[in-house]
Amino acid sequence: MNDKTKYQIMKNREFLKGYHAGDAGAEQTDQEQKLPGISSLKRKKHRNVIPLPAEFNKLGISGDIWDLIMGRESCRKFLPEELTLPELSFLLWATQGIRKFAGNKNPITFRSVPSAGSRHPLETYLFANHVKGLEKGAYHYLPDEHALERWEVEDDYDAQLTRALCGQHFAAAAPALFVWSALPYRTEWRYGLKAAKYILLDAGHMCQNLYLAGGSIGCGVCAIGAYDQDYMDEILGFAPGPSDNPLYECTVYAACVGKKKRNASDA
């Protein structure tokens, strides 16, 4: 390991840590300076918005948390079976669904997953390959409406996603691929330099909910951390970074979902 790599590893280790004695007051955040933040809801494109069903009681959801945790595993092989729109709707709600709003000016959202300061910096993009009642293509989840909007007009992303996922074709070809992005300033506005750590913690909460919610309806999930940053961002139409634009957005995580095949565990 060369000195440059060692130095970067040491910097990364510091990134993992919480507050130190003396940190208080050392950095004045934009919130403390009374500067306006940005909404935790991304402005939609108004392109083919599809309302999602929310009658989850008809899905036969398993409620045994012990079984769900004991059965949690990463699944890389799926049955040749479509996801239904109600199933996909439930998974979207379980990972980013809004339970209630609070406040009048710049309201905050209380969702199905925790987020530092209720800032919710993450957005969900969906690549649908085999979802009954949903055309193949790329979508963006609108949590305030519990709906999907068509994101890009292309239909077949197989080759592009395989490349973007560093050759992991099983994920690119899965019935559904969740790709999560971050708008860092949502969290930076309140937490400054600590925001990056909190954003990644938020992503972990979200993906774990996907595993448990998927297991409750017979779906397998595989989290994906290896992806080509620049190419995945390009597919989703994000401006290249680095950038100090408050609306800067970048991919941070992904996970594929499908009907679970027995003995399909790799992790």
Residue 121, in any domain of the structure: yes
Domain total of the chain:
1
pLDDT digits (tens, 9 = 90+) for 60-81: 887 788 888 888 999 999 999 9
Spatial CA neighbour of 61 closest among 82, 95, 90, 83: 90
Residue 12, in any domain of the structure: no
Separation of alpha carbons 148 and 129, rounded Å: 15
Q: Contact at 8 Å (CB) between 37 and 219?
A: no
Residue 34, in any domain of the structure: no
- pLDDT per residue, tens digit, the chain (267 aa), is 899 999 999 999 988 888 887 776 667 899 999 999 999 998 877 678 999 998 898 888 877 888 888 889 999 999 999 999 999 999 999 999 999 998 877 778 999 999 999 999 999 999 999 999 999 999 999 999 999 999 977 778 999 999 999 999 999 999 999 999 999 999 999 999 999 999 999 999 999 999 999 999 999 999 999 999 999 999 999 999 889 999 999 999 999 999 987 654 445
In the block, residue with structure tokens 């970074």:
241
Helix-helix angle 195-216:85-96, to 10 degrees = 150
Residue 66, in any domain of the structure: yes
Residue 246: give the domain boundaries: 52-259
Q: Contact at 8 Å (CB) between 175 and 130?
A: yes
Residue 78, in any domain of the structure: yes
Residue 148, in any domain of the structure: yes
pLDDT digits (tens, 9 = 90+) for 99-148: 999 887 777 899 999 999 999 999 999 999 999 999 999 999 999 999 99
DSSP string, 193-251: GGHHHHHHHHHHHHHHHHHHHHHHTTEEEEEE----HHHHHHHHTPPPS----TT--EE
Q: Could you tell me which residues come within 8 angstroms of residue 175 by beta carbon, excluding any fewer than 6 positions away?
A: 78, 81, 82, 83, 128, 129, 130, 131, 257, 258, 259
The enclosing domain of 236 has a CATH number of: 3.40.109.10
